[in-house]
Structure 1
């Protein structure tokens, strides 16, 4: 059997992580009679006896290059290599082919309640209205669509009318070993941590506005850590300027290694004000470290943190609620509850399914 895996957009962050995890599973798989062809953009993977890698870095040059690749180059590759099955890791299926396709969907923008206007953010408007239409069409045509959460499965059913039987839920894997859990003390209960990129929907501004309120009350016995670079984009420059203008206790530490992020979970409280996520991996990671978590009241966070007793929720568009929760933690009105360390990790492991099983099966 010949299986072609498409992921030309993958270059960094979550998309690249999923690609590498799937590739790792393919390498370890016992059946070497399956021939795998990975079709990539700028990402790099090593060839193996039954693994071939094709790279098309020019795809990333423009939307036109991507459309040309999707509609003309990709279908020819499928025909030329006599492919029996296609696995698309790029949110949409390959057009102009009748070969069975399995779709991995990790883009939530077309399914969230919050709608961007064209003036507010052109790129996100395009994702919600134009690419979103292509995504929904792909879900209808794919033999099976894989999503990461129940809320995404339900949103897909509502938006497309597809049967639940054609949708599989596979949560992201956490390969890194969790060796230490959060312990409450004066330092860890006064340090807040938000590991997120510099997109506006990550909602750093909610934390900044909450810190302004705390400052007005004379509360400054804490610090907040952002994994941002000041000059990452115009939005992060604006955030940095606002922090300096009001002299807030917020630090920009730049991008951290996974090991450093895991270390922060053991000595800080996770703030997660993002209102657009497919999964929200830091929520699961912090939960596995038994950390205190203050998260946006959204379907993805409610699902991941279900029955977790150290989680607290707020309206991501109401900084008063976030400020109140932060103040309650600092004043010890909210206290960390002891959670059995091993039980959290075991729950995560039990929920894991294999992407590879769905693709091969």
Structure 2
């Protein structure tokens, strides 16, 4: 008898979530066979364009991003009717919500940490959508969450919080399988040989990415250049930053392709990462390969992602003075801070291939 797995991801179309979706597609495609059928529910064909997938079937929902009413209708009404028709053995929701469906095994992948963001009302106008998410998502997460076979997060700190907030214990930590070594770059020790200390922060402009602390800090440090992947026109958040703060020593690079990000990793002197909240923080993992200083927010997600990396300088992400001090220490190669790795007490699965194998039940 063929076992069918449905993966619902109709709300994912761009950004880091799209990378997650595409990694999931590749993993499930390699696990599908004559005994295991996999169906992905997605917004449109563009989310898998350029990816060679031989075994996955798709059902498209082009209206899924039109409104929240439609999104909720699909999750809690239409998907139930669809599950009666498809009769899946397993239903895997890839975007936070636990839909109302009929299936023997049910999983939800929770990668939106908005409910843990402490966003004051005074900042609501900077990013009203993020403010709404920070208040609304805790109710959305709660719906049907106890009906899951397992709830999946990327980090142990988030798993701990889900257990506390929703009174559950069936959480799996599925960490990215990123093979990072250490290598000497072409510009080793440039921090002492260059007049300008070059700091790179690859992040899309959202409130929780905390670009504002860099704008506040720029006048406190001399001979320092901040490279940001912003154009200043993306959204209300960036426009307000540009209006409010002068670009003293900030370079706006705009959105960069992956190869261009790699080039900046090669030529910068250090990575700066002030984000207030992440489910992982991939640049923190990617940059370790270059064996250069990382100046990061002293927060739980960063502790877990960075692990035992030896060239870390922590700072308070709400203090420009703390960031300026961390930059000074990294520039002058002062003794790095101690790493703060997180101990995971939950079931842990490494990489999408292993997670897909677990969910399909092979």
TM-score range, shorter chain: 0.7 to 0.9
Counterpart position of 2:201 = 194
**Equivalent residue pairs, number:** 338
- Of the candidates 62, 68, 76, which is equivalent to residue 63 of structure 1? 68
Residue 128 (1) aligns with residue 134 (2): yes
1:12-41 deviation digits (Å, cap 9, x = unpaired)? 111111111111122223633211111001
Counterpart position of 2:25 = 23
| Aligned partner of residue 26 in structure 1, secondary structure | helix
Q: List aligned pairs for 1:329-348, cutoff 5 A.
A: 329-330=330-331, 332-334=332-334
1:151-184 deviation digits (Å, cap 9, x = unpaired)? 1111111111211xx1111112348999864722
| Aligned partner of residue 197 in structure 1, secondary structure | coil
1:49-77 deviation digits (Å, cap 9, x = unpaired)? 64210111111111112122222222222
1:191-231 deviation digits (Å, cap 9, x = unpaired)? 100001111221111111111222xxxx2x22110001221
Conservation of the 8 A alpha-carbon contact between 2:181 and 2:289: no
Counterpart position of 2:310 = 309
Conservation of the 8 A alpha-carbon contact between 1:118 and 1:125: no
Cα distance in 2 for partners of 1:300, 1:138 equals 26
| Aligned partner of residue 93 in structure 1, secondary structure | coil
Counterpart position of 1:346 = none
- Of the candidates 150, 161, 170, which is equivalent to residue 155 of structure 1? 161
Counterpart position of 2:345 = none
Cα distance in 2 for partners of 1:147, 1:86 equals 16
Give the deviation of 1:256 after TM superposition: 0.9
- Of the candidates 167, 170, 194, which is equivalent to residue 174 of structure 2? 170
Counterpart position of 1:250 = 250
Counterpart position of 2:84 = 79
Inter-CA distance 189–226: structure 2 relative to 1 (3 Å threshold): same
Inter-CA distance 48–294: structure 2 relative to 1 (3 Å threshold): closer
- TM-score between both structures, scaled by the size of structure 1: 0.85
User: Could you say what the CA RMSD is over the residues aligned between the two structures, in angstroms?
Assistant: 2.7
Residue 213 (1) aligns with residue 213 (2): no
Give the deviation of 1:135 after TM superposition: 0.8
Residue 240 (1) aligns with residue 233 (2): no
| Aligned partner of residue 193 in structure 1, secondary structure | strand
Give the deviation of 1:85 after TM superposition: 0.9
Cα distance in 2 for partners of 1:255, 1:177 equals 26
Inter-CA distance 290–137: structure 2 relative to 1 (3 Å threshold): farther
- Of the candidates 40, 44, 62, which is equivalent to residue 38 of structure 1? 40
Give the structure, 1 or 2, with the largest relative contact order (CA under 8 Å, sep 6 or more).
2
Conservation of the 8 A alpha-carbon contact between 1:183 and 1:266: no
Counterpart position of 2:149 = 143
1:99-122 deviation digits (Å, cap 9, x = unpaired)? 42111110111134x244397254
Counterpart position of 1:358 = 358
Inter-CA distance 138–261: structure 2 relative to 1 (3 Å threshold): farther
Structure 1 alignment gaps of length 5 or more:
338-349
Conservation of the 8 A alpha-carbon contact between 2:29 and 2:38: no
1:285-317 deviation digits (Å, cap 9, x = unpaired)? 112322210011110001112321101111111
Conservation of the 8 A alpha-carbon contact between 1:290 and 1:310: yes
Structure 2 alignment gaps of length 5 or more:
338-348
Inter-CA distance 50–304: structure 2 relative to 1 (3 Å threshold): closer
- TM-score between both structures, scaled by the size of structure 2: 0.85
Cα distance in 2 for partners of 1:161, 1:19 equals 28
Counterpart position of 1:341 = none
Conservation of the 8 A alpha-carbon contact between 1:84 and 1:99: yes
